[in-house]
Amino acid sequence: MKESGKINVERIAKLARTISELQSQGKNVVLVTSGAIGVGMDRLSLKKRPTGMKEKQAAAAVGQCELMSIYSKMFWECGQIVGQILLTADNVGSENDRQNVINTFDALMQMNVVPIVNENDSVSTVEISAGDTMAFNENDSLSAIVATLIGADLLVILSDIDGFYDDDPKINPNSKRISVIRNMTSEMERFAGGAGSQFGTGGMVTKLRAAKIANEAGAHMILACGSDPGVIKDIISGADVGSVFVSEKKYNEGI
C-alpha cells in the first residue's frame, strides 16, 4: 500500500515479474501477502479503519477479492498462474487440516502455480480483534509457518528496513547493518522489542520471531527492503543485501 492508502500497483507488477522469472528458472515460490482490510477500505471508500468486528471482516472480504484480482492480472500478464490459499490458526493447529494444507501447496507447486497466502481475515476473529496481532502472531510469523509447512529452503521477508542493525538507524546514523546472523542473542531480542524503542515498535521483534521459526525448521531467512521487489533476484544471486539469519540446522546438515 502507498502512504495515501492506495494499492501500489507498480510494485505489485514488479513483484509479479520477479517471481515469474524465478518460476521460469525452476524455482518454487510461495507469496505471503497482507493488506486485505486496507484494500477493502480503499475499495469501499472508507476514510477510517472500521472499529467493529463485522465491519472489519466485511472490509477484509472485499479486500481479499480485490487483492487477488490484482495479483491474478499482474501474474497472468507474465504468463504465470496463481492460486489463493486463505489460512487461519485452526488450519495449521489440526493435524488433519494441516496435512490438507500441505497437500494443496504440493499440488499447486507441482502444477507450476504460485500459491498466494493470506490470513483469512473475513472469518478469523483472533487477529483483527487484537488490533492486527494475528492468530499466527502477525504476518511475519505466518510467512515463517508457511515456510515450515512447505519445507522451504529460504524465507525472504520484505520490509521497510533493509536489514537488522546494531542500533536503531532512525536514531543513530552510525548504526551498522549486520549481514549475517548465526546466533540470535538475548541482547538482540531485547533491543528489537525494547520498551519505547522505535526500532522495536516498528515490528523487528516479529521478524526475529519469524527467523526463529524458519531457522528451527531448517530454512534460512533474509530480511531486506521491499521498496524494489527486484531485490529478490539480488538475494538469489548471493549479493550482500539485507540480513541473513542462518539456519544452523541446515548449515550443519550441509544442505
Span 156-208, pLDDT tens digits: 999 988 999 888 787 888 888 999 999 887 777 776 764 334 443 347 888 99
**Domains in the chain, start-ordered, CATH in brackets?**
1-136 (3.40.1160.10), 154-255 (3.40.1160.10)
38 Cβ contact partners less than 8 Å away, ≥ 6 residues apart: 1, 5, 63
Nine-digit cell string for 108: 499447486
How far apart, in Å, are the Cα atoms of 191 and each of 41, 167, 200, 205, 215?
A: 34, 8, 7, 9, 20
pLDDT score, position 135? 45
Provide the pLDDT confidence category of residue 17 given band limits of 50, 70 and 90. very high
- CA 51/CA 131 separation, integer angstroms: 9
Which 8-state DSSP code applies to residue 30? -
pLDDT score, position 185? 79
pLDDT score, position 139? 84
Which 8-state DSSP code applies to residue 28? -
Confidence (pTM): 0.85
